[in-house]
């Protein structure tokens, strides 16, 4: 059996189904480019039939990505498959991924179909997709709660119809590792034509078992792993790419499997995905969490100083951590700035570059050292997130032990500038209250968090807010060396996201449609 594991990244599709994590086309493209640099074999860019916005994002990614396969998801309906194909057909390596549920629970309560009808629908979908492209993946949704022999019948039929990859998802995160491994082995042994397709696994993390299940599936012979950066995804998330890849890397002695991932791009990719989606990585997250390589106990510190191997099974440099590259500073010119952005994968028009350079100079005046991560924040804020309905023009906050915290704000709403002042229990509360009043927002602040972007006392503060209004949840992010300004920016960014969701209701719909 082949010993190469194919890494299929679905950060831009299943990952984007994390509540509030929607990305616009420019943001998706930025993540896609980084995923390509990371070395993923395939990247699922979205679900084109779900919304016009998603269609455009997938199309944009398909046009620009050269090495990795670009995958579009579709239900079995012909209209969905057509839409998926329209979105990816210009890709260097396109793939259509079609799916239907196969468990009795879904057949009875969701699809209202019998088993034979499901097989027929799956076969017709695969045949239809196969007439468009040779590269077709089929997923049996809720496979882990599907009767094993029926699953084998489905896989046999879709492989005969032309599927080149068959995927076994643990859609609801229900399986146990040993059980999942046994199911994969069973399906391999009892699907007569399985050797004609790649067997894939796709796990959700509802019981915290996604990585263990994926590895059990690989151990049992699956050769494609469907994963997301930082494990983001529907509900408790999907299998995390970094955990699977670093297990293959660290335990190569035992697993004897290879993959195409450039491990040193793991941490930069994790940071970028977190920045763009607004989903903060928990500090104790394996491989990419802030504490993943921090040694607190004196006995551990002593050991690591003597020899890192005493308490470290992998080196932070291996995953690209601790390589915070100092890039440019106050005295750098436009040329160096442009060059650095090109290195990060950006190619901007002159006007965007001018706008960014001005912001960079302003930041460089405040900070001594500028890192790659600071530049990423600058780009995401100034360009990728677009202008939106609201823009913060001016903020002045008075606070202290005796003053009542007061904020004065000028807010641009489309083309009109409005201004006002307001109070709060603290300076951030005062700023938020004033902005909300000026924007006429009834949203509720349900989460607020601050992180330091790069090292040092003058590090930029990165603020994430989560705003809720009429059942819609939007994330906002902002960064600045001054955390009150960063907070106000994050709040305005969250309001822009909410506004965007109101104007594009299909976005909210999409998040619950698969």
Tell me, by CB under 5 A, how many residues bind Zn ion: 1
Structure tokens belonging to residue 156: 């046999």
Q: Which does 259 bind (CB under 5 to 8 A by kind): ligand KIV, Zn ion, none?
A: none
Cβ(256)–Cβ(1) under 8 Å? no
Q: Which does 290 bind (CB under 5 to 8 A by kind): Zn ion, ligand KIV, none?
A: none
CB nearer to Zn ion: pick between 14 and 265: 14
Q: Which does 240 bind (CB under 5 to 8 A by kind): Zn ion, ligand KIV, none?
A: none
Give SS3 for 147: coil
Which residue from 348, 215, 57, 234 is spatially nearest to 43, judged by alpha carbons? 57
Please report how close the Cβ of residue 26 comes to Zn ion at its closest, in angstroms. Answer: 25
- H or E stretch at 498: helix 483-503
CB nearer to ligand KIV: pick between 43 and 459: 43
Binding residues (CB under 6 A) for ligand KIV: these are 14, 99, 139, 141, 167, 169, 171, 202, 204, 514
Q: Which residue is nearest to Zn ion (CB)?
A: 14
Please report how close the Cβ of residue 510 comes to ligand KIV at its closest, in angstroms. Answer: 13
CB nearer to ligand KIV: pick between 139 and 508: 139
Cβ(9)–Cβ(65) under 8 Å? no
Please report how close the Cβ of residue 328 comes to Zn ion at its closest, in angstroms. Answer: 40
CB nearer to ligand KIV: pick between 136 and 280: 136
Q: Which does 514 bind (CB under 5 to 8 A by kind): ligand KIV, Zn ion, none?
A: ligand KIV
Cβ(121)–Cβ(111) under 8 Å? no
Please choose, out of 9-17, 31-39, 296-304, 329-337, the segment that lies near Zn ion by the rule CB under 5 A: 9-17
Cβ(314)–Cβ(250) under 8 Å? yes
Q: Using the rule CB under 5 A, is 14 a contact of Zn ion?
A: yes
Q: Which does 141 bind (CB under 5 to 8 A by kind): Zn ion, ligand KIV, none?
A: ligand KIV
CB nearer to ligand KIV: pick between 101 and 383: 101
Q: Using the rule CB under 5 A, is 429 a contact of Zn ion?
A: no
Rounded Cα gap, residues 149 and 201, in angstroms: 18
- H or E stretch at 488: helix 483-503
CB nearer to Zn ion: pick between 11 and 399: 11
* Interface of this chain with Zn ion, residues 469 to 488, rule: CB under 5 A: none
CB nearer to Zn ion: pick between 28 and 489: 28
CB nearer to ligand KIV: pick between 77 and 514: 514
**Alpha-carbon distance values, 296 to 281, 292, 299, 307, 451 (Å):** 20, 11, 9, 16, 20
Q: Using the rule CB under 5 A, is 36 a contact of Zn ion?
A: no
Rounded Cα gap, residues 129 and 161, in angstroms: 10
Chain position carrying tokens 């903020």: 395
CB nearer to ligand KIV: pick between 204 and 367: 204
Please report how close the Cβ of residue 188 comes to ligand KIV at its closest, in angstroms. Answer: 19
Please report how close the Cβ of residue 111 comes to ligand KIV at its closest, in angstroms. Answer: 14
Q: What angle do CA 309, 281, 7 make, to 5 degrees?
A: 75
Please report how close the Cβ of residue 180 comes to ligand KIV at its closest, in angstroms. Answer: 14
Please report how close the Cβ of residue 59 comes to ligand KIV at its closest, in angstroms. Answer: 20
Residue 239 backbone phi and psi in degrees, to 5: -60, 140
Please report how close the Cβ of residue 471 comes to ligand KIV at its closest, in angstroms. Answer: 23
Q: Which does 427 bind (CB under 5 to 8 A by kind): Zn ion, ligand KIV, none?
A: none
Cβ(370)–Cβ(327) under 8 Å? yes
Please report how close the Cβ of residue 233 comes to ligand KIV at its closest, in angstroms. Answer: 8
- Judge residue 418's burial from the number of C-beta atoms within 10 Å of its C-beta, 0-12 exposed, 13-18 middle, 19 or more buried: middle
Please choose, out of 8-16, 27-35, 119-127, 279-287, the segment that lies near Zn ion by the rule CB under 5 A: 8-16
- Ramachandran assignment for 173, one of left (phi > 0), alpha (psi -120 to 50 degrees), beta (any other): left
**Alpha-carbon distance values, 454 to 116, 376, 487, 488 (Å):** 56, 11, 17, 20
Q: Which does 41 bind (CB under 5 to 8 A by kind): ligand KIV, Zn ion, none?
A: none
Q: Which residues contact 4 (CB under 8 A, 6 or more apart)?
A: 223, 257, 258, 259, 260
Please report how close the Cβ of residue 71 comes to ligand KIV at its closest, in angstroms. Answer: 11
CB nearer to Zn ion: pick between 142 and 265: 142
Which residue from 476, 478, 445 is spatially nearest to 462, judged by alpha carbons? 478
Please report how close the Cβ of residue 141 comes to ligand KIV at its closest, in angstroms. Answer: 4
CB nearer to ligand KIV: pick between 97 and 466: 97
Sheet bearing 472-480, strands edge to edge: 444-452, 461-469, 472-480
CB nearer to ligand KIV: pick between 137 and 265: 137
Q: Which does 139 bind (CB under 5 to 8 A by kind): Zn ion, ligand KIV, none?
A: ligand KIV
Rounded Cα gap, residues 362 and 367, in angstroms: 9
Q: Checking DSSP bridges between strand 165-170 and strand 136-141, what pairing results, if any?
A: parallel
Q: Concatenate the DSSP letters of all residues of 390-417 into one string.
A: EEEEEEEEE-SSSSPPEEEEEEEETTEE
Which residue from 293, 345, 356 is spatially nearest to 322, judged by alpha carbons? 293
Q: Which does 424 bind (CB under 5 to 8 A by kind): Zn ion, ligand KIV, none?
A: none
Residue 198 backbone phi and psi in degrees, to 5: -90, 135
Please report how close the Cβ of residue 202 comes to Zn ion at its closest, in angstroms. Answer: 6
Residue 207 backbone phi and psi in degrees, to 5: -110, 15
Enumerate binding residues for Zn ion (CB under 5 A).
Answer: 14
């Amino acid at each position: 059996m082949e010993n190469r594991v194919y890494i299929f990244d679905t950060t831009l599709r299943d990952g984007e189904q994390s509540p509030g994590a929607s990305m616009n086309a420019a943001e998706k493209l930025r993540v896609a480019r980084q995923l390509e640099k990371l070395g993923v074999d395939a990247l699922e860019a979205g679900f084109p039939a779900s919304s016009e916005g998603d269609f455009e994002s997938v199309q944009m990614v398909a046009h620009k990505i050269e090495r990795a396969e670009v995958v579009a998801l579709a239900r079995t309906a012909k209209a969905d498959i057509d839409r998926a194909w329209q979105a990816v057909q210009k890709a260097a390596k396109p793939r259509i991924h079609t799916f239907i549920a196969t468990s009795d629970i879904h057949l009875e309560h969701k699809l209202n179909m019998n088993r034979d009808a499901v097989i027929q629908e799956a076969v017709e979908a695969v045949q239809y997709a196969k007439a468009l492209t040779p590269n077709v993946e089929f997923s049996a949704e809720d496979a882990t709660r599907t009767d094993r022999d029926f699953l084998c019948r489905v896989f046999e039929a879709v492989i005969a119809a032309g599927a080149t990859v068959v995927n076994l998802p643990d859609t609801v995160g229900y399986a146990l590792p040993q059980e999942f491994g046994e199911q994969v082995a069973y399906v391999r042994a009892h699907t007569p034509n399985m050797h004609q397709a790649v067997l894939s696994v796709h796990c959700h993390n509802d019981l915290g078992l996604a990585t263990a299940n994926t590895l059990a599936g690989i151990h049992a012979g699956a050769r494609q792993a469907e994963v997301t950066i930082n494990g983001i995804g529907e509900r408790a998330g999907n299998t995390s790419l970094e955990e699977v890849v670093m297990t293959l890397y660290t335990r190569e002695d035992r697993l004897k499997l290879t993959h195409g991932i450039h491990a040193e791009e793991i941490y930069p990719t994790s940071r970028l995905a977190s920045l763009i989606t607004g989903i903060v990585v928990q500090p104790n997250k394996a491989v990419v969490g802030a504490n993943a390589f921090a040694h607190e106990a004196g006995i551990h510190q002593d050991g690591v100083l003597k020899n890192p191997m005493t308490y470290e099974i992998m080196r932070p440099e291996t995953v690209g951590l601790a390589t915070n590259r100092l890039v440019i500073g106050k005295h750098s010119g436009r040329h160096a700035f442009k060059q650095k952005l090109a290195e990060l994968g950006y190619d901007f028009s002159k006007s965007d570059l001018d706008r960014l350079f001005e912001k960079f100079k302003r930041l460089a005046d405040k900070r001594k050292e500028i890192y790659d991560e600071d530049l990423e924040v600058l780009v995401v804020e100034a360009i990728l997130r677009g202008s939106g309905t609201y823009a913060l023009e001016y903020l002045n906050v008075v606070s202290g032990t005796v003053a009542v915290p007061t904020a004065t704000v000028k807010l641009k709403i489309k083309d009109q500038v409005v201004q006002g002042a307001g109070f709060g229990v603290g300076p951030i509360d005062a700023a938020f209250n004033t902005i909300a009043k000026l924007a006429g927002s009834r949203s509720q602040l349900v989460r607020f968090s601050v992180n330091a972007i790069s090292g040092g006392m003058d590090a930029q503060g990165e603020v994430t807010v989560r705003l809720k209004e009429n059942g819609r949840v939007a994330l906002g992010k902002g960064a600045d060396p001054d955390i009150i300004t960063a907070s106000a920016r994050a709040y305005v960014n969250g309001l822009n996201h909410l506004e965007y969701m109101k104007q594009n209701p299909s976005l909210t719909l999409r998040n619950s449609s698969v």
